[in-house]
Chains A and B, each alone.
Chain A
Amino acid sequence: MPNPLLLDSITLLATTPSGEDPASTFIRLLTVFLLAMWVGFEVITKVPQRLHTPLTSGSNAISGVTVVGALVVAGSLTSGFGSLFGLLAVFLAMINVAGGFVVTHRMLEMFNPKKK
């Protein structure tokens, strides 16, 4: 039998704490999504073409943020398969995160030779 505390936590995850209905949750997240998209367009159009490769690898690292989701689903360990998927996701997302940030740093160092 699963632990009651554990079940409560799943309830929290499946609905939202305030008892928001699913449609409202969707709209709330859609709001965040569209506003962040807008901010993204504004900020990224100002990046010079010379830095587009580090921009790509850096944004690549940030897309590894899915590791946060992976940690939450893997950490709950509710079912064998579920946690296996979660752990695999943690592993893959961390390759993405570490690889992205390190390689971006390596490239940016080359653009700033004085620091060598």
Chain B
Amino acid sequence: MSSQAWINLAYLTASMLFIVAFKLMSGPRTAVRGNYLGAAGMAIAILAACFEQPVAASVAKNGIWPLALLAAFAAAGGGIGATMARRWPMTGMPQMVALLNGFGGAASMLVAAAELTSTHTIARFGEGTAQTAAQTSLGSWTQFGIAIGLACLIGSVTLTGSLVAFAKLQELPRFKKPWDDPNRQWFNLGLGIVVVLLLWAMFSNPQPLLFLLLVLVAAALGATLTLPIGGADMPVVICLLNSYSGLAAAAAGFVIDNSVLVIAGSLVGASGLILTAIMCKAMNRSLVGVLFGGLGTTATVDADEVYAGKIKAAETEELAMVLEQADRVVIVPGYGLAVAQAQHAVRELADVLEARGTTVEYAIHPVAGRMPGHMNVLLAEADIEYEKLREMDDINPTFPETDVAIVIGANDVVNPAARTDPNSPIAGMPILDVDKAQTVIVVKRSLSPGFAGIPNPLFAADNTLMYFADGKKALIDLTAAIARD
């Protein structure tokens, strides 16, 4: 067997390990093993790459130092990545994923750039067969041109799109307000047309200058597409960028004719697309609406009409008594809970209730948090058991048997108007049916509307008690009141 065959076998093994890694993600215990297998697959692929002909040839010519140089850059990157991963706070997970997506996209774009530069050098100064081969691949409409163009486009868009998403999620002052210039769509359309033209030119004749232009225009487009997107839509953007980083890797795989890049890249691309679809469905928005639709809708229902005279506010002692009599309590956390850093306070409340024999569970809406599944991670960090974190479809049928539902920092995802009012902007959006519980406690600072900007009839419902307070303080007070009795 030739050495290239062994290398390909190693790539095949790595690809299979990646698939198994995704497969094992179906449960929390097996997922740990899956993650190890994924890392093992990566190690095998990296090792195999060091035996590839170009590297081996370079080592044969220059001695060990090319490998040492590669190892140094890899170790530096790996060290930075691992340190970042160990220290990054869980609330900031979306930012970190955004940043890593950006680096991955940039790396894929650079692989294409490096390959183009070296092929050009050969085509100009090379001799014999090598030169012919290089000139062929720079000829009209080869897979080389198409792949390089796409790797460059997707990689650059991923890089700047991710950096802008990072800045927005990190709430850097300059990025707090979405870019809402009314002419932005025309600007984006103009950039888009330029990108298509450059891409067309790249397909038929990949040149370094064209590549550079495409990098610049695609980078600008990545930024201007992400800048107008509001904070609430960020989960969709994160998923989409995740998908792009995979597709960029796959495109780089087409450039250098490498199957493990294509396989791993398309797996990640598929994963990102699925999550994007789930997020859009959970937020009742179309992908086009998120990307080009601006900042959502304005209120069509008058808040005073919904709330007038129907709001019942309750004090700590009264709520403590309601909770003490409950057999089953469901807590509905929203992103407001994470902002208030109240995950541990929630667990303490659950602890005193459970000590009294009450069943406590958590109902998690798919868009609770700033990325898919984010709220689950935040609650798990507060040592809440995995089994108590229930998904929407799973817990919705149990609300009629629930004595008390506590809503903290969530609004639109518990708005019954989504079910009842066909004219509501959120009509048809899947929601948690908390209004079907015996009693609903809503912890909220004021009656301000949620992201959708619409009033919530739940607050005015007969079985709802409003608890006007800061989320964390409210939980601590309630816990203390129950513990006293």
Contact = CB atoms under 8 A, between A and B. Distances in A.
B96 interface: yes
A6 B38 contact: no
Nearest to A23: B143
Contacts of B28: 50-51, 108, 111-112
A66 B270 contact: no
Contacts of A9: 53-54, 56-57
Contact of A74 (B38, B70, B122, B270): B70
Contacts of B401: none
B111 interface: yes
A82 B77 contact: no
Contacts of B46: 67-68, 71
Given A53-B373, A65-B249, A73-B256, A110 B380 contact: yes
Interface residues of B, number: 141
A90 B61 contact: no
Contacts of B74: 67, 71, 90-91, 94
B155 to A, nearest CB: 9
B77 A50 contact: no
Interface residues of A, number: 99
Interface stretch (B126-134, B179-187, B458-466, B471-479): B126-134
Contacts of B136: 14-15, 22
A101 B69 contact: no
Interface in B372-403: 372-374, 376-377, 380-381, 383, 385-386, 389, 391-392
Given A47-B22, A62-B18, A100-B81, 12 more contacts: A29-B253, A48-B26, A49-B392, A61-B100, A66-B248, A69-B253, A82-B121, A94-B78, A96-B81, A98-B82, A103-B88, A111-B376
22 contacts: A10-B126, A14-B134, A48-B26, A48-B391, A50-B389, A53-B371, A64-B103, A67-B107, A68-B258, A68-B261, A77-B66, A78-B122, A79-B121, A85-B114, A88-B73, A88-B107, A92-B77, A97-B78, A98-B77, A101-B42, A102-B85, A107-B90
Interface of B: 4, 11, 14-15, 18-19, 21-23, 25-29, 31-32, 34-35, 38-39, 41-42, 45-46, 48-50, 52-62, 66-67, 69-70, 73-82, 84-86, 88, 90, 93, 96-97, 100-101, 103-104, 106-108, 110-111, 113-115, 117-119, 121-122, 125-130, 133-134, 136-137, 142-144, 146-147, 238-239, 242, 245-246, 248-250, 252-272, 274-275, 278, 364, 366, 369, 371-374, 376-377, 380-381, 383, 385-386, 389, 391-392
